[in-house]
């Protein structure tokens, strides 16, 4: 249960960062070489991305990987 909550919060952070940069999932997919469907699944909290994928997404979204990882389950 806790894992799913963490994945959902992680996905929300990625979604928010992507929207702030005005980038579509398809555009992010092309520049990170991460499948668009996989990005969608991450954003919906359905997948647990590897550190490599997180690093690629964070780099292109111009944020630190640490900003993506929730500190506690009860925080955003």
- Give residue 13's Cα distance to chain centre: 6
CA distance 18 to 33: 15
How crowded is residue 31: how many other Cβ atoms within 10 Å of its Cβ? 13
- Tokens representing residue 32 in the block: 């990170």
Output the pLDDT for position 4.
85
Q: Where are the domains of the chain?
A: 2-68
User: Where are the strands (E) in the chain, listed by range?
Assistant: none
pLDDT tens-digit map of 10-41? 999 999 999 999 999 999 999 999 999 999 99
Does domain 2-68 match CATH 1.10.260.40?
A: yes
Q: What is the DSSP letter of 20?
A: H
Residue 73 confidence (pLDDT) above 80: no
% of the chain exceeding 90 in pLDDT: 79
Kindly report the pTM of this predicted structure.
0.87
Q: What is the mean pLDDT of the chain?
A: 91
């Amino acid at each position: 249960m806790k894992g799913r909550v963490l994945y959902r919060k992680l996905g929300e952070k990625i979604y928010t960062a992507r929207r702030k940069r005005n980038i579509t999932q398809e555009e992010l997919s092309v520049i990170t070489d991460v499948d668009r469907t996989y990005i969608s699944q991450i954003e919906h909290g359905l997948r647990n991305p590897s550190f490599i994928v997180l690093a690629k997404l964070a780099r292109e979204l111009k944020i630190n990987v640490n900003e993506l990882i929730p500190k506690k389950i009860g925080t955003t």
